[in-house]
């Protein structure tokens, strides 16, 4: 079997709803374009809202070995998956770890991923909450924004954007969680999810001017979280 790596644009899911354009619906055409005789399937890729690398394979045995490798690497404390993020705000520390429990929580008609700072043993045992960990490092900073390297040790939906809000530095283009970071006299602080409804990310006028975006374009600003590197055995 063979493997193929592609770049996945943001806001286009790897596996979509029926009738929705997604990478999976394009795989037959992609297989023909690349000249593969066997069907292609997704081994590893970024979350729905993120851009970045997608690893495809035409061999199920190879796919199983690779997926087991990613699982084993996380359990051994290795970081085979590396993301890059542009954040609104610069972390107080140049590098560190973000540890928290995460769980799903219903808010009106929507279900959100929310942090649980000190999860109880019972909630962890019942798998209502999962302990999560992301290592981060600041690669550069300018104009109140930063470029971060992110290496998740665990996998949970929305883990990276939620972890960035805990750093008080939400990802640029995060219209889902960034409202949890408020400001008083320019100093950021964390709001509880129930006090921060989902909305278009609010950016300083100076940053919007530097980006050259209109209010209409700002609503469509994609999440600046990119799966940048996959380490393979």
pLDDT digit string, tens, across residues 173-211: 999 999 999 989 889 999 988 888 888 999 999 999 999
Does residue 101 share a domain with residue 71? no
Does residue 139 share a domain with residue 121? yes
Does residue 197 share a domain with residue 93? yes
Name the nearest CA neighbour of 102 among 46, 156, 49, 154: 156
The pLDDT, as a whole number, for residue 145 is: 97
Does residue 105 share a domain with residue 41? no
Does residue 203 share a domain with residue 88? yes
Strand, helix or coil for residue 3: strand
Tell me the pLDDT tens digit for each residue of 6-35.
667 665 555 555 555 567 788 888 888 888
196 or 172: whose pLDDT is higher?
172
Give the structural domain span for 175.
Answer: 83-230
Name the nearest CA neighbour of 142 among 77, 45, 96, 211: 211
Does residue 159 share a domain with residue 111? yes
Does residue 115 share a domain with residue 204? yes
Range in 28-32, 53-57, 84-88 the model is least confident about: 28-32
Task: Answer whether residue 139 shows pLDDT above 70.
Answer: yes
83 or 186: whose pLDDT is higher?
83
The pLDDT, as a whole number, for residue 11 is: 58
155 or 20: whose pLDDT is higher?
155
Does residue 51 share a domain with residue 89? no
Strand, helix or coil for residue 227: strand
Q: How many CA atoms lie within 13 A of 61 on its CB side?
A: 1
Specify the number of domains making up the chain: 2
Task: Answer whether residue 1 shows pLDDT above 80.
Answer: no
Please state the pTM of the whole predicted model: 0.87
Does residue 205 share a domain with residue 119? yes
Task: Answer whether residue 108 shows pLDDT above 80.
Answer: no
């Amino acid at each position: 079997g063979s493997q193929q790596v592609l770049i996945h644009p943001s806001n286009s899911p790897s596996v979509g709803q029926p009738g929705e354009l997604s990478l999976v619906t394009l795989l037959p055409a992609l297989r023909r374009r690349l000249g593969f005789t066997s069907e292609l399937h997704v081994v590893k890729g970024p979350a729905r809202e993120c851009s970045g690398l997608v690893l495809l394979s035409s061999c199920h045995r190879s796919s199983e070995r690779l997926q087991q490798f990613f699982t084993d690497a996380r359990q051994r404390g290795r970081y085979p998956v590396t993301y890059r993020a542009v954040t609104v705000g610069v972390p107080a520390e140049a590098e560190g770890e973000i540890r928290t429990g995460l769980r799903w929580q219903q808010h009106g008609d929507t279900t959100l991923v929310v942090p649980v700072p000190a999860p109880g043993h019972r909630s962890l045992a019942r798998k209502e909450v999962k302990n999560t960990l992301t290592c981060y490092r600041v690669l550069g900073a300018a104009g109140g924004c930063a470029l971060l390297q992110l290496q998740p040790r665990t996998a949970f939906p929305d883990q990276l954007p939620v972890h960035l809000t805990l750093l008080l530095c939400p990802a640029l283009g995060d219209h889902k969680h960034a409202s949890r970071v408020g400001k008083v006299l320019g100093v950021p602080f964390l709001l509880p999810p129930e006090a921060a409804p989902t909305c278009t990310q609010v950016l300083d006028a100076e940053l919007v001017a530097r980006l050259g975006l209109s209010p209409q374009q700002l609503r469509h600003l994609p999440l600046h979280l990119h799966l940048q590197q996959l380490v393979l055995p």
